[in-house]
Amino acid sequence: MNISACGAIKEEYLAAWSIKPEEAETAWQAKLLLDEKIASQSGQIIPNYGIIPDIKPYPSQIDGSMIQSRSQHRNHLKQHGCIEVGNEKLKERKPEEPKGLKDVIVREVYRHLG
């Protein structure tokens, strides 16, 4: 990221704060320190503004092979016919009427009516 882009990002960040400029500058400095701390702990450069770093390698629970990236993860799941719980697409279902519901309703209406 070049310096002019960094300055523009800082200006956008400071403009978003509805507090005194000095307090906004303090918040910006705290954000930079936090970003550095996160980057040093993870060993990665943490990009700003919605760019998510790739996943860390992990052993597959399906066959034990090492998965190195998100794309490999998606392909691996697809290859083995698996899905991630919470990411599956649900089919629209209409609730089914219990069998004999109409008879039960008619019986109850007649019972209450006399």
DSSP state of 17: -
Per-residue confidence (pLDDT) for residue 66, from 0 to 100: 94
Per-residue confidence (pLDDT) for residue 85, from 0 to 100: 83
Per-residue confidence (pLDDT) for residue 51, from 0 to 100: 60
Residue 24 to residues 15, 42, 54, Cα–Cα distance (Å): 8, 27, 31
Domain ranges across the chain? 3-42, 54-87
The low-confidence residues of the chain, meaning pLDDT below 50, are 1-5
Q: What's this model's pTM, rounded to 2 decimal places?
A: 0.37
On whether the CB atoms of residues 60 and 66 are closer than 8 A, the answer is: yes
DSSP state of 57: P
